[in-house]
Amino acid sequence: MKTVMRLTLACSAALALGGVTAMAHHSAAAFDTQKAVTVNGTVKSYRFANPHVQLLVTVKKDDGSTVDMDVEAGAASVLNGLGFSKDSLKVGDVVTITGNPARQDPGAHMLGKDLYKKADGAYLPLFIGSKSIYESKVNATATSIEGTWFSPMRSFTGVTGAAGRWTLTDKGKAARAAANPAVSSQADCIPIGEPTVMVYPVANNIKASKDKVVIKTDWMDTERTVYLDGRKHPAPTQTFLHGHSVGHWESKTLVVETTNFKDHQSGLAATLPSSTEKKLTERFELGEDGKTLNYTGTVEDPVYLSAPGQFSASLEYRPAMPFSNQKCDVQIARSFLKDLPTK
């Protein structure tokens, strides 16, 4: 049975920000988001993976015949943050799925939003914008920035929205105009650049020691080390995907300066690259309630930005949230390219 292997990044909500389609491997243009569809069927195949979960559901039609419905779902790391884990679903489960039909072949392809299991009525989110099954109110409180944090959609869209308003150089304007808004570096399993990757709606873990702070983000193996031992940045010729970070404490607030970035196709936004001259200044500050992490800062890149860009977000303390521990699958990530329209 042929399965359509389209790709929906966790963010295929195709958030339009000043004419820019944000953070999508491909846009939601293939689906009629103004129409809702509900299907009932049995899970025929299921793969919990990044950059998207694959579902094939056998649906019984009104005439008694069956069709295999290809359901696009979000990335494993993103759905994990909403409460859909690897063991939440299995082949043979009878489910009800709501979502949006495909514009072409709507009887066999849909964008999934919400899933309910018939056996126990359990709810599972399928989309970056779906509701979380975690309690919105967390009773535990943090005493420092250490621990596991989650960026809600409002913080994610706040930062991507800010990026859409940054002022650009002529080269930046040309790069954005020439970019395919449906494709970012993540099609090659290369995460979007900082600060955006820091506010992905996935688990983020911060661990501090005397000489360094390690920040792990459950998205495409993103890991950063912030050195606190007084070292300087290396020579400009030494560049890294996530740059080179040094920091210091201001009371309980971590202040970080990062330079030495590699040239990056999506270093500033999905449709805006960054250069080796990119410089990022960040502040990680524990909120007064002990339940929020305030993330603010400035990004500079004189090649693409005519002025420093500001950003701010608030992450929620989620000490019990696990990591999905799913690698990005390049084959899945690239499988959609043949179906993309040209710009």
Which own/partner contact pairs does 297-301 have at CB distance under 8 Å and 24+ positions apart? 297/195, 299/166, 299/194, 299/195, 299/268, 301/267, 301/268, 301/274, 301/275, 301/277
Kindly state whether residues 312 and 165 are assigned to the same domain: yes
Find the CATH number of the domain harbouring 96: 2.40.50.140
Question: Can you give the CATH number for the domain in which 169 is found?
Answer: 2.40.128
| H or E element, residue 310 | strand 309-317
Asked if residue 323 is part of any domain, the answer here is: no
Q: How far apart are the first and last CA of the chain?
A: 31
Confidence label for 25 from pLDDT (cuts 50, 70 and 90): very low
Taking residues 260-271, what's their average pLDDT?
96
- Strands 272-274, 264-269: pairing kind: antiparallel
Predicted confidence (pLDDT) at residue 16 exceeds the cutoff of 60: no
Residue 5 is predicted with a pLDDT of 30
Tell me, yes or no, whether 138 lies in a domain.
no
Residue 2: inside a domain: no
Burial of 309 (0-12, 13-18, 19+ CB in 10 A): buried
Is pLDDT above 90 for 151? Answer: yes
- Say if residue 85 is exposed, middle or buried (CB neighbours under 10 Å; 0-12, 13-18, 19+): middle
Q: Is residue 6 domain-resident?
A: no
Please check whether residues 151 and 74 belong to one and the same domain.
no
Whether residues 40 and 127 share a domain: the answer is yes
| One domain, residues 41 and 190 | no
Same domain, 308 and 199: yes
Closest residue by Cα to residue 260 from 294, 284, 224: 224
53 is a domain residue: yes
Question: What is the number of helices (H) and of strands (E) in the chain?
Answer: 4, 19
Distances in Å between the Cα of 91 and the Cα atoms of 15, 48, 96 are: 32, 12, 14
**Residue 51 preceded by cis peptide, ω within 30:** yes
In the prediction, which pLDDT does 50 show? 86
Q: What is the pLDDT of residues 33-73, one digit of tens each?
A: 899 999 999 999 999 988 888 899 999 888 888 999 999 89
**Residues 154 and 128 both lie in one domain:** no
User: Is the same domain home to 179 and 307?
Assistant: yes
**Distance of CA 134 to CAs 26, 112, 121, 125, 270, Å?**
28, 19, 16, 11, 29
- Whether residue 184 is found in the same domain as residue 164: yes
Q: Is residue 269 in a domain? A: yes
116-130, 278-292, 304-318, range with the lowest pLDDT: 116-130
Same-domain pairing of 284 and 333? no
Residue 219 lies in a domain: yes
Q: What pLDDT sits at residue 118?
A: 93
Amino acid at 317: Y
Do both 155 and 119 map to the same domain? no
| Nearest C-alpha neighbor of 298 from the set 279, 315, 284 | 279
The 10s digit of each residue's pLDDT in 294-339 is 999 999 999 999 999 999 999 999 998 889 888 888 877 776 554 4
Q: CA of 245: how far to CAs of 81, 83, 143, in Å?
A: 26, 32, 24
Q: Is residue 5 part of a domain?
A: no
Q: What is the mean pLDDT of the chain?
A: 87
* pLDDT mean over 208-233: 97
Higher pLDDT among residues 333 and 262, named by residue: 262
pLDDT(109) > 80:
yes
Number of domains, the chain: 2
Please tell me whether residues 123 and 184 are part of one structural domain.
no
Report which of 189, 303, 172, 206 is spatially closest to residue 241, judged by C-alpha positions: 189
Statement to judge: residues 125 and 181 lie in one domain: no
Among 50-59, 112-121, 252-261, 262-271, where is mean pLDDT lowest?
Answer: 50-59
- Least confident window among 126-130, 188-192, 228-232, 250-254: 126-130
* Spatial CB neighbours of 246, under 8 Å, sequence gap ≥ 6: 226, 227, 228, 231, 232, 233, 256, 257, 258
* pLDDT greater than 60 at residue 138: yes
Asked whether the predicted pLDDT for residue 7 surpasses 80, the reply is: no
Q: What is the residue range of 115's domain?
A: 15-133+328-339
The Cα angle at residue 255 between residues 253 and 261, in degrees rounded to 5: 150
Those residues with Cβ within 8 angstroms of residue 170's Cβ, 6 or more apart along the chain or in another chain: none
